Amino acid sequence: MSVSLSITLIGVGLFLMLLTTYVLKKGRIPEKYSLLWYAFSLIILLVAIFPNLFAFISDGLGFQVMSNLVIGIILGTLIILTMALTIMIAGQKKKTTLLIQELSLVKSRIKKLEEKENDK
């Protein structure tokens, strides 16, 4: 791996780590999700710092160029992440639907009671 690629990867890895720390500090993501992003940036840093180890792995797995393995890992992680997000969104949608329904039912019930009160 060329030195400039190593430097770029180290830069990307560090940026991702700092970004994760920043949003974690601001409380915008829960700790358990930040863990995943830390792992992600750590992998990038490891690739940049120990290219030989990854060259060995990529040869073993039959990749022609090591950068393909790096891209492959990133792509695979992103796909799984997207899947996890789809599942999360579906769960959120269920909860919002439930809230909208229950709130609407309660609202109409209150209205009815108020009308009864006013009629007295």
Partner 1 sequence: MEKVLLIIPAYNEEENILKTYQKVIDYNKKEKKHYDVIVINDCSKDKTSKICHDNNIPVIDLIHNLGIGGAVQTGYKYAYENNYDIAVQFDGDGQHDVRYVEKIIKPIIDKEADLVIGSRFVEDIKTFKSTFARRVGIKIISCFMKFATHKKIHDTTSGFRACSKELIYDFSLSYPSEYPEPVTTAEVLKKKYIVKEVAVEMNEREAGVSSIRAWKNIYYMLNVCLALLAIKIRRYKRCQ
User: What are the residues whose beta carbons fall under 8 Å from the beta carbon of 65, sequence distance 6 or more?
Assistant: 58
**Under rule CB under 8 A, how many of the chain's residues touch partner 1?**
11
Contact 44, 29 (CB under 8 A): no
Residue selected from 8, 82, 86, 104 as contacting partner 1 according to rule CB under 8 A: 104
Contact flags string 56-95 toward partner 1, x per CB under 8 A: -------------------------------------x--
Residue 113 touching partner 1 (CB under 8 A) = no
Q: What is the dihedral of CA 36, 5, 63, 82, to 10 degrees?
A: 30
Helix count (H) and strand count (E) of the chain? 4, 0
Residue 8 touching partner 1 (CB under 8 A) = no
Q: How far is the CB of 88 from partner 1 (least distance, A)?
A: 16
Nearer to partner 1, 86 or 97 (CB): 97
What gap in Å lies between CA 76 and CA 1, rounded to an integer? 21
Residues that bind partner 1 (CB under 8 A): 93, 96-97, 100-105, 107-108
